[in-house]
């Protein structure tokens, strides 16, 4: 892996360290018995360095983990039995969540990241059918996903967590085009994104400076997160990170209604593909534009943590 890929992989160890700390609380939002092993010494060091450099608490990572855990359970209850975690990093959901019989969880990430996770979880058994897809997102990952058994005619729950800020806008567009092309009607797409106002806020610059120094700069943010997918025939529900963070007692800042512009915030999105998409659903072919283009690799003081799974 080059230096940028190494830096992006490192953010996954940092996120695992955050989950380990949360798991040790008296009333945790998330319990991840694998997080300490997945974080390792590297994750502990990165979390200490990030906290010292930015002064930002890691609340967003914990909140989003809980939010997407619940969203995945809702997707299961709706009958989805095929899950794809994009840029899975040190995500342990295949091991720690309860999955219905017959569920397949695909984990897509760089081969070296998958190998590091498998080594750290040696001897553990996933609670579903776990399929690893070792491929860089800049390459033809849809082709590799299908080769590993992904069924385009089945409804899918997609999770894109802690990634979008690391890639530029054209790469975000390509990523979502590929997901749409692979998704049957009724599929669910879960993602988080940093607001552009938050990304550019003065108090966020220490965090951005640290991420640049780490080699994983934040390059993308938007305050119209639903627009990333709604034009493709998906119905998107947007939630302010602070709204659920306040509900779960992990947020120390006032929550401003979503229809008030110019407020620095982060977003969670749950989108469902309609029965009639703006794009005809079909399995993508090798010469599809979505397969040719590369994905790349992405007021009050809300937290802006952006480490990957």
Q: Minimal CA–CA distance to 241: which of 56, 113, 44, 60?
A: 60
CA distances 162 to 14, 65, 303, Å, are 12, 10, 13
pLDDT tens digits along 147-192: 999 999 999 999 999 999 999 999 999 999 999 999 999 999 999 9
Span 192-215, average pLDDT: 95
Please tell me the distance from the alpha carbon of residue 7 to that of residue 35, in angstroms, as a whole number: 19
CA distances 300 to 27, 219, 243, 245, 248, Å, are 26, 22, 14, 14, 19
Confidence band for 9, pLDDT divided at 50, 70 and 90: confident
Burial 4-25 (b: 16+ CB within 10 A, else e): ebebbbbbbbbbbbbbbbbbee
Q: What is the pTM of this model?
A: 0.89
Q: Which domains does the chain have, with CATH numbers?
A: 3-292 (3.40.50.150)
Q: Is the pLDDT of residue 46 over 60?
A: yes
């Amino acid at each position: 892996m080059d230096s940028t890929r190494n830096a992006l992989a490192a953010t996954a160890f940092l996120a695992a360290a955050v989950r380990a700390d949360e798991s040790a609380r008296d009333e945790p939002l998330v319990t991840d018995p694998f997080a300490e092993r997945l974080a390792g010494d590297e994750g502990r060091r990165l979390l200490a360095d990030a906290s010292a450099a930015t002064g930002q608490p890691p609340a967003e990572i914990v909140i989003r983990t809980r939010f997407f855990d619940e969203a995945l359970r809702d997707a299961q209850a709706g009958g989805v039995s095929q899950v794809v975690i994009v840029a899975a990093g040190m995500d342990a959901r295949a091991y720690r969540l309860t999955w219905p019989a017959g569920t397949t969880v695909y984990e897509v990430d760089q081969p070296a990241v998958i190998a590091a996770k498998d080594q750290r979880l040696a001897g553990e058994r996933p609670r579903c059918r776990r399929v690893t897809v070792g491929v860089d997102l800049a390459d033809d990952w849809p082709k590799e996903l299908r080769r590993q058994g992904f069924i385009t005619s089945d409804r899918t729950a997609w999770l894109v967590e802690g990634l979008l800020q690391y890639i530029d806008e054209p790469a975000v567009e390509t990523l979502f085009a590929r997901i749409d092309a692979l998704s049957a009607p009724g599929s669910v797409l879960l993602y988080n994104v940093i607001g552009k106002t938050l990304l550019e806020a003065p108090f966020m610059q220490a965090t951005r400076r640290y991420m640049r120094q780490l080699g994983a700069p934040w390059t993308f943010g938007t305050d119209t997160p639903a627009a990333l997918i709604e034009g493709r025939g998906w119905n998107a529900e947007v939630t302010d990170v602070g709204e659920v963070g306040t509900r779960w007692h992990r947020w120390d800042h006032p929550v401003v209604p979503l229809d008030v512009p110019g407020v620095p915030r982060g977003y969670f999105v749950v989108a469902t593909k309609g029965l009639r998409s703006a794009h005809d659903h079909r399995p993508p072919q090798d010469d599809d534009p979505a397969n040719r283009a590369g994905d790349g690799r992405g007021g009050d003081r809300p937290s802006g943590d952006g480490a990957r799974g």
